[in-house]
Structure 1
Amino acid sequence: MVNTGKELIDICQKKNMKIWEYTIEQEAISTEKSKEDIFKNMKKSFQVMKDAAECGVRHKVKSVSGLIGGDAYKLNEYCNQGKTLTGTFMVKAMARALSCSEINAAMGKIVAAPTAGSCGIIPATIITAGEKLNKSEDELIQSLFTATGIGIIIAKNATMAGAEGGCQAECGSASAMASAGVVEMMGGTPQQALNASAIVIKNILGLVCDPVAGLVEIPCAMRNASGAVNALTTADMVMAGVISRIPFDDTVSAMYKVGKQLPCELRETALGGLAITETGLKLKRKVLGK
């Protein structure tokens, strides 16, 4: 597998391949499995994603702590009333992202994509975009491989851990991966997919990780919803011809450096940000009893 976005674009252009095709090819080489088996495995993961994205939309799911729950259901009910400001497409995406986060907090089954804290962004983005574009399930799974290819490069050159790089590393990486997947789903080139990822990262650069009571619930769930919106709106910008003046590799490098510059209080320790506000501390005492 290539190490940088530039290398990925070059090899895809040379071989006349999409990112998803290259990703599967490399996975087959590294695992010594057939492309068919690799695709089947991703299909199983996609089913888990779909279930997590829909369960909270259809049912009022509460987290084990009681801090979050039922918001995906509320959004779906609101969507069904036909009175949304941003339209049913965007509200559905937000609801699905919240659903995955709620399922995670309720100890349900999710796909860490790339982390549990950001598990709703890729499913919500890919599923909702595919629905809008009338894409087949196989085409949606191809988009997941595109997202995977981007994620591998981010992991090689930066981090996806909130404890190391803040929420920008979790929700930022997930949004960048999702937007690239949607761009290729829309017929975009590898170059356009990388432009989308770069723009997304710029939009979320510096986001801290400050979970209330140390739990992946507040503000994590809401950040999944905004991450999905970030990915989808950026895909439209790129398909309109907008490019990122700062290339993907530079944005990944910047994200890593910014993450290292964040104080430990803002890197998943629950010692800063929203976690130590008056309300944040009250919620902590309510959940943990101290």
Structure 2
Amino acid sequence: MNFRTLKELSERCREGGLTIGRLMLQQQAKESGREEAEEFATMKAYYGIMKEAVHNGLTRDTTSRSGLTGLDAQRVAAYNESAEPSLGGDAGRAMAYALAVSEVNASMGRIVATPTAGSCGIIPGVFVSSQERFGWDDDVMTEALFAAGAIGYVIANNSFVSGAEGGCQAEVGSAIGMAAGALAELRGGTPEQAMHAVGLALKNTLGLICDPVGGLVEIPCIVRNGFGAVTALAAADMALAGVRSVIPSDEVVQVMLEVGAAMPEKHRETAGGGLAQTPTGKKLMEDLRKKKRR
């Protein structure tokens, strides 16, 4: 790739008169040695899987094998339609869709890890709900996925995207930043505004620990995907309104690295601390162990 930082990514776009997504497509093709059309078709197929996961999460039984989670996306979607939710509209749909994909993952369905399975609902939640609102076709959304990928590439190479390495800030935080930056570009924002969206999103998740109950990607992972989608919408709107990340986004990424490295092991996907070690969390773990023995 011809960029290593978010600043360089923005500069390359400005120099070439390219969107983030188009630049990333070119770079990906150069890196892989494949034609741009082939790379684009592969990414478009991934987007199809994302939309399929949203649909399945809203229409099928997503009860997980553990029995701990499932069907919350459908509850939220029904509430959005039948009541007067505080969010409603785009944010409510994005939240429901993110929950849907994450529940599909927990119930062993097919998803796309973006950037990980634990954060798989955020980008589809934001993208599919936004596509429904604005009427963009799948080609537009596919280019936006390349934009999200460019942002994720920078974060992964300068910090973490793994909860085991950097806590949930690395998984959910990265996905929120990827979704926010890509959405800012989708909405007509400049590469600079997209980078501000990334910084704003990441700052809001610094220090978020990874504390899965029972070691499963269910509690609290699924609801964090729902909240994450809403945060991404907010970060994109702030950036498009002219709100800047006063601390440069690349410096925020470095803080994520610093915080993740300092995080105790028990807060990095080991189920050794946080919510996993609450009285209820420990009871749920014991109940799961008993089930396995039967």
Output the CA distance in 1 between the equivalents of 2:83 and 2:192: 37
Output the CA distance in 1 between the equivalents of 2:220 and 2:70: 12
1:237-256 mapped onto 2 (5 Å cutoff)? 237-256=238-257
Output the CA distance in 2 between the equivalents of 1:88 and 1:188: 22
| 1:60–1:73 Cα contact (<8 Å) kept | no
Q: CA deviation at 1:82?
A: 4.6
| 1:211 alignment partner AA | P
Output the CA distance in 1 between the equivalents of 2:86 and 2:60: 24
Over residues 156-181 of structure 1, what are the superposed CA-to-partner deviations in whole Å (9 max), with x where a residue is unaligned?
A: 10110000000000000000000011
1:185 aligns with 2:186: yes
Match of 1:206 in 2: 207
Match of 2:19 in 1: 18
Q: CA deviation at 1:60?
A: 3.4
Match of 1:221 in 2: 222
Q: What is the aligned-residue identity percentage?
A: 46
Structure 2: stretches of 5+ with no match in the other structure: none
| 1:213–1:288 Cα contact (<8 Å) kept | no
RMSD: 1.0
Match of 1:45 in 2: 46
Match of 2:74 in 1: 73
Q: CA deviation at 1:6?
A: 1.2
Q: Greater CA deviation, 204-213 or 7-16?
A: 7-16
Match of 1:104 in 2: 105
1:85 aligns with 2:97: no
Q: CA deviation at 1:59?
A: 2.7
Output the CA distance in 2 between the equivalents of 1:247 and 1:131: 32
2:204 is paired with a residue whose SS is helix
Match of 1:27 in 2: 28
| 1:134 alignment partner AA | G
Output the CA distance in 2 between the equivalents of 1:7 and 1:43: 26
1:236 is paired with a residue whose SS is helix
Output the CA distance in 2 between the equivalents of 1:181 and 1:97: 16
| 1:82–1:88 Cα contact (<8 Å) kept | no
Output the CA distance in 2 between the equivalents of 1:191 and 1:240: 13
List structure 1 runs of 4+ shifted beyond 2 angstroms. Answer: none
Structure 1: stretches of 5+ with no match in the other structure: none
Output the CA distance in 2 between the equivalents of 1:138 and 1:272: 43
Output the CA distance in 2 between the equivalents of 1:34 and 1:96: 32
Q: CA deviation at 1:285?
A: 1.1
Over residues 119-147 of structure 1, what are the superposed CA-to-partner deviations in whole Å (9 max), with x where a residue is unaligned?
A: 00011111111222221111111111110
Match of 2:10 in 1: 9
1:154-193 mapped onto 2 (5 Å cutoff)? 154-193=155-194
1:107-122 mapped onto 2 (5 Å cutoff)? 107-122=108-123
| 1:201–1:252 Cα contact (<8 Å) kept | yes
Give the count of matched residue pairs.
290
| 1:168–1:204 Cα contact (<8 Å) kept | yes
| 1:18 alignment partner AA | T
Match of 1:287 in 2: 288
Q: CA deviation at 1:57?
A: 1.3
Output the CA distance in 2 between the equivalents of 1:92 and 1:55: 15
Output the CA distance in 1 between the equivalents of 2:140 and 2:112: 19
Output the CA distance in 2 between the equivalents of 1:54 and 1:122: 15
Q: Greater CA deviation, 278-287 or 82-91?
A: 82-91
| 1:265 alignment partner AA | K
